[in-house]
Amino acid sequence: MKVWTVPDAAKAFPIGVKVKYFLDISNKDDFHEGVISSEPRIVRGEVAVLLDGYVGSFSINHLELSE
């Protein structure tokens, strides 16, 4: 798993980008889609963002860009 910095995450996952969020990163068939709605920040020791329509922060480690 990659160790993200806030600046690296901001470049890779800017506000407005559509992403897939994986609850279990080992199961790529089970995901939710959303749009990033915040700049990355540190939450509980991990880099995380907010997604439109969802409550709470989402770890960058569980995100992939959506096509």
Q: What is the CATH number of the domain that holds 56?
A: 2.30.30
Count of residues in the chain: 67
Strands (E), the chain: 18-22, 31-35, 41-43, 46-50, 57-59, 63-65
How many CA atoms does the CB half-sphere of 31 hold within 13 Å? 18
Number of domains in the chain: 1
The structure's pTM equals 0.87
Q: Which domain holds residue 60?
A: 6-65
Residue 1 lies in a domain: no
Q: Please check whether residue 16 lies inside any domain of the structure.
A: yes
The answer to the question of residue 20 being in a domain is: yes
Query: What's the average model confidence in pLDDT over 41-61?
Result: 94
**Is the pLDDT reported for residue 1 higher than 80?**
no
Kindly list the distances between the CA atom of residue 30 and the CA atoms of 23, 50, 63, in Å, as whole numbers in the listed order: 7, 19, 12
Q: Cα(5)–Cα(19) distance, rounded to whole angstroms? A: 18
State yes or no: pLDDT of 19 exceeds 80.
Answer: yes
